[in-house]
A and B are shown apart, each in its own frame.
Chain A
């Protein structure tokens, strides 16, 4: 319709010279010309970097795929790694991961029972996905978590329903990392909210207690907290009483995460304009109504990026338990290359472990971006 109008308004000029549209303002070529080749120095940098990127990519593909060795023969339980040694780093020796992947993932858990920790990892991932879906953001989530965590406990320990009992020292690998971070953050987050509220309380005792907790825990490195839990704490217990090593580490990690998260949450509380508090008071809401319905929903939404930042940090910090001899994912990976036959193939193992961490952390970060966009929709103009 508009075409007709336009044609009608501007009559066709048959005799005029046909001109090309200017090339260099749109399209890929134009963009490259403007951003990458605008002067001789930019051109030089582009070419140099381009050369390096291509070379490294080819080098990496050569090393990781083309020249790689994917498995080696095992004779009498001894892996024959001569093939891997012969290529002298020209290709990756993924055989170490092929041979050791079950140890890296599940540690010293009894070999024939490995389906149990595998199922536990699947359950954890399912739990994360379900919790991430907004459709489940209601009271249903509480029973879902309780049931899933109970099933996870039953699977790991066993001892009932015909499952053989597996003591905690034999747990290892990915389940340990997931248990430490999930339980740690699940308990640390409510604790952090309470502490953050407590720090802004007008009651002096509560306020002092919260300030003390946050400052003391933040002033001590996580490593020394873990040492304390593992080395000092048992000496204070009465003779013959031992608290599980994993539980002690779990408590230390939870307390540590709680202090950091509390400060993040407090930052959110402080950003809220005073008017919000006053308006809630004016409506006659009680303290908990005000906090639950007005303050926290807004404050937490504001601090999603730093919260996820802390979550991701803690997911990786759980690997510090290696100093107290708990076989989490990283420790199991480290231990798998202790065997003389496999010494020197650390890069392959660490790349694999790094990828596993990356998958979890990237998923968290991606999800938080979506969540942020979703929850702050009303702010965008």
Chain B
């Protein structure tokens, strides 16, 4: 869906530009920076602030609160990078980007990194010229039904009427899934989000389908959320993660290992509350390496050895970030649980 919109946008913009300037489209890839892929990181250091591309407003992921302060899961990743660089999570400038202009913002260098619920796909990784630094949220398409209906799994939806928005991969995924599972359904296709939700709530459809994160925030906005159930089945893969430019290896390393650090910290039970104590007195060798008491791991990432202490102190570990931002909108850990709890979040070793 996002890719399609982008290509339409590009075609539009391209057509307009071509008519206006009659100039050939210049190569879109920014030149690879010199200096072993450290150019962006050097520029960030010289500037003293990180410029982070975020969503213009998505509940739980990135949204300004009543006082205009950015909050959310994606926002916390920007804060974590600033905390690792300067021990100060406020040194971030947030650039709100739309689904249309987010990729240009990163390509053109308007932002240093994109932390904006963007699905990692092959074409974005290669031809758009990005490096995805990991998967911090496993999303996927799911179904919501009324609790009173007694539906347990998506397979019970045979013969059901299902509300879906048109022109997105959501509709395609639904059809593919139904065909693969030999399920008959009647689609109710409605363009506007508010209208499609209204149709489901008023009972025109038995089920409503979109990405699980979207279902969760819709559910939490209902007068009585307990009347709606999100089914456990997920029928598509939408792995979301932060992205940097191709060629910014240093930056990519840093963002990637901050993500792993958040997961590793949760695995080892290090939280915002106990990180200061763990940094001085924890006897486990991996904790000592992670928190910079032994070894030189921070230096290898070109930051201070206490980088992860600073990150955890200001932002918390992965579980705390999740709980602060996504639990309130009704999201379960699900596939985003630690691998030790049967989820997919896993960190390579710190050594």
Which residues of chain A have a CB within 8 Å of any CB of chain B? Answer: 77-79, 85-86, 88, 99-100, 102-103, 106-111, 167, 169-170, 172, 216, 219-220, 224-225, 227-228, 230-232, 234-237, 239-240, 242, 245, 322-327, 331, 334-336, 338-340, 343-344, 346
Q: Is B20 interfacial (CB-CB < 8 Å)?
A: yes
Of B65, B98, B223, the residue contacting A339 (CB under 8 A) is B65
| B64 proximity list for chain A (CB < 8 A) | 103, 107-108, 335
Kindly state the separation between the CA atoms of A335 and B96 in the bound complex, as whole angstroms: 11
Can you list, as one digit per residue, whether each of B96-138 has a CB less than 8 Å from chain A (1) or not (0)?
Answer: 1110110011011110000000000000000000000000000
Q: Are A239 and B30 in contact (CB under 8 A)?
A: yes
Determine if A102 and B63 form an interchain contact, defined as CB atoms under 8 angstroms apart: no
Q: Is B283 an interface residue (CB 8 A)?
A: no
Beta-carbon nearest neighbor of A243 in chain B: B110
Please determine whether B17 and A228 come into contact, CB atoms closer than 8 angstroms. Answer: yes
Interface segment out of the listed B6-14, B149-157, B261-269:
B6-14
Given A85-B223, A235-B28, A343-B221, are A102 and B108 also a contact pair (CB < 8 Å)? Answer: no
Q: Which of A86, A219, A227, A339 is in CB contact (< 8 Å) with B63?
A: A339
Classify the interface of chain A: helix, strand, loop or mixed.
helix
Q: Are A335's CB and B104's CB within 8 A?
A: no
Is B19 within 8 A of A216, CB to CB? yes
Report the interface size for chain B: residues with CB under 8 A from the other chain: 52
Inter-chain contact B56/A331, CB cutoff 8 Å: yes
A-chain residues with CB within 8 Å of residue B30 when the two chains form the complex: 239
Residues of B within 8 A of A236 (CB): 26
Residue pair B66, A325 in contact (C-beta under 8 Å)? no
Q: How far does the alpha carbon of A99 sit from the alpha carbon of B17 in the complex, in Å?
A: 43
Known A227-B13, A242-B110: A340·B221 in contact at CB below 8 Å:
yes
Known: A167-B93, A172-B68, A232-B17. A338 touches B12 (CB 8 A): no
**Other-chain contact of A169, B10, B33, B93 (Cβ < 8 Å):** B93
**B9: contacting residue among A79, A108, A231, A234, CB under 8 A:** A231
Q: What is B's interface to A at a CB cutoff of 8 Å?
A: 9-10, 12-17, 19-20, 26, 28, 30-31, 33, 43, 56-60, 63-70, 93-98, 100-101, 104-105, 107-110, 194, 217-218, 220-221, 223, 328-330
Residue pair A227, B16 in contact (C-beta under 8 Å): yes
Output the nearest chain B residue to A346 by Cβ-Cβ distance: B194
Considering the complex, give the chain A residue whose CB is closest to the CB of B97: A325
User: Which of these, B26, B66, B70, B217, contacts A235 with CB under 8 Å?
Assistant: B26
Q: Chain A residues with Cβ under 8 A from B31's Cβ?
A: 239
**Chain A neighbourhood of B101, CB < 8 A:** 227, 230-231, 324-325
Q: Which residues of B contact A336 (CB under 8 A)?
A: 66
Q: Which of B28, B67, B95 contacts A102 (CB 8 A)?
A: B67
Task: Write 10 A-B pairs (CB below 8 A) sorted by A numbering.
Answer: A102-B67, A216-B19, A224-B16, A230-B101, A232-B104, A324-B98, A325-B95, A325-B96, A336-B66, A339-B63
